[in-house]
Amino acid sequence: MAGVAGRLARRWCSGALRSPLQVTRFPALQLHVCGPAMRASQKDFENAMNQVKLLKKDPGNEVKLKLYALYKQATEGPCNVPRPGVLDFINKAKWDAWHALGSLPKETARQNYVDLVSSLSASSESSGQVTPAADRKQPGSDALVVTSQDGITTITLNRPDKKNALTPQMYHDIMLALEAASKDDSAITVLTGNGDYYCSGNDLTNFTDIPPGEVEERARSGAVLLRDFVDCFIDFPKPLVAVVNGPAVGISVTLLGLFDVVYATDRATFHTPFSHLGQSPEGCSSYTFPKMMGPSKATEMLVFGKKLTAREACTQGLVTEVFPDSTFQKEVWVRLKAYSKLPPNAMRISKQVIRNREKEKLHAINAEESSILQERWLSDECMNAIVNFLSKKAKL
């Protein structure tokens, strides 16, 4: 395959092949092809085709073949044209990739194409090679992807079929990733999501399968986990940037108050349905939100569960800047890459000057919020809300 791959790459890059997959610029990447959530619309698909053209670095022939195959399957269905002759290496490799998809439904192929492009785009605005940072402990599952390049460590939530809902494993892995990022060579750390959502908050199935008699203990250990998790954000020493690629719910919203900069696509929304869930604010939002938007706007969000658009969130100070979805990834990564070239020690020290005097207070608030939430998790209001979600009676 190496010889074929090399020839393929040359042909693609030289523009010899005319297809919608013609990749003019390629991303550096760490790839994850997602499961068939089957929700991508034709518009999503067309956007993804456009995004492919913006990619900067060569993703490699295997990926290009995968993109080609998914495109063909999504637009024409299963491959039933004759296999090209043995010496027609390029078209044979393409045919093989397409044919390998068998009877995969068009909708699934379309979704997989969109997911694949999305994972490529997440890191497409950097020029260096993305490496899974070799010096760090890698996450315990594929649900989190950590990459490092061009002075930026990026932590990507990667459970797009569940809207990047956070499992206990992910809480632990994010803590490990932050710990490693605080010590690595990068100047800036980014948290983002793969797929159409930034994050749908705590995975509500975390509250299921608890044996009778263990509920209190689970609530206690959940509160410890929450407190440790939020502490990592309070203490994180380098500039921490949220690249909010889609809607955000629950703890993924409240934590934004602990980020240094928050960039959002105009498709993002911000929603903290704590009362609907019989729960209460966490992530230090009971302090950061009133401070940034005033108590009344904070109450609308944290008590009444008002969902904000990206522009509203920007007006309230929760979001730093909003970008059109069509150019979001491109603009944000160009910006971050420029920032990452600033002297890292100066940035770290300036962040400390801005944040350090509040640290102690934030830790105390986090402890209090976690303990209140521990009680809430044992309440009938909370139990009923979880049961409602799980039985799909309620969509918040």
Tell me which of 68, 236, 287, 377 binds ligand LQQ7U7AH, using CB under 6 A.
377
Q: Does 152 bind ligand LQQ7U7AH (CB under 6 A)?
A: no
| CA dist., res. 199 & res. 201, Å (int) | 5
| CA dist., res. 351 & res. 349, Å (int) | 5
* Phi, psi (rounded to 5 degrees) for 149: -160, 150
Binding window for ligand LQQ7U7AH (CB under 6 A); candidates: 172-180, 204-212, 301-309, 344-352:
204-212
Q: How far is the CB of 73 from ligand LQQ7U7AH (least distance, A)?
A: 22
**Please, are residues 288 and 258 in contact by the beta-carbon 8 Å criterion?**
yes
The number of residues that bind ligand LQQ7U7AH (CB under 6 A) is 27
| CA dist., res. 383 & res. 362, Å (int) | 28
* Phi, psi (rounded to 5 degrees) for 155: -105, 115
Binding window for ligand LQQ7U7AH (CB under 6 A); candidates: 103-111, 142-150, 202-210, 353-361:
202-210
Tell me which of 226, 242, 248, 255 binds ligand LQQ7U7AH, using CB under 6 A.
226
Q: How far is the CB of 159 from ligand LQQ7U7AH (least distance, A)?
A: 8
Residues constituting the chain: 396
Q: How far is the CB of 8 from ligand LQQ7U7AH (least distance, A)?
A: 36
- HSE, side-chain direction, 13 A CA sphere, residue 164: 27
For residues 147 and 200, which CB has a smaller minimum distance to ligand LQQ7U7AH in the complex? 200
Which helix (H) or strand (E) covers residue 233, if one does? Answer: helix 215-235
Q: How far is the CB of 209 from ligand LQQ7U7AH (least distance, A)?
A: 11
Tell me which of 21, 70, 74, 219 binds ligand LQQ7U7AH, using CB under 6 A.
219
Q: Which single residue brings its beta carbon nearest to ligand LQQ7U7AH?
A: 250
Q: Does 249 bind ligand LQQ7U7AH (CB under 6 A)?
A: yes
DSSP string, 332-388: HHHHHHHHTTS-HHHHHHHHHHHHHHHHHHHHHHHHHHHHHHHHHHTSHHHHHHHHH
- Interface positions, 181-200, toward ligand LQQ7U7AH (CB under 6 A): 200
Residues 155-184, one symbol each (x = binds ligand LQQ7U7AH by CB under 6 A, - = not), give -------xx-x-------------------
What are the DSSP E strand ranges found in the chain? 144-149, 152-157, 188-193, 240-244, 248-249, 261-265, 269-271, 308-309, 321-323
Q: Does 201 bind ligand LQQ7U7AH (CB under 6 A)?
A: yes
Tell me which of 54, 63, 264, 277 binds ligand LQQ7U7AH, using CB under 6 A.
277
Q: Does 222 bind ligand LQQ7U7AH (CB under 6 A)?
A: yes
- The long-range contacts involving 10-17, CB below 8 angstroms and separated by at least 24 positions, are 11/90, 12/61, 12/64, 13/58, 17/90
DSSP string, 277-308: TT----TTHHHHHHHHH-HHHHHHHHTT-PPE
Q: Which residues bind ligand LQQ7U7AH (CB under 6 A)?
A: 162-163, 165, 200-207, 218-219, 222, 225-226, 249-251, 273, 277, 279, 282, 377, 389, 395-396
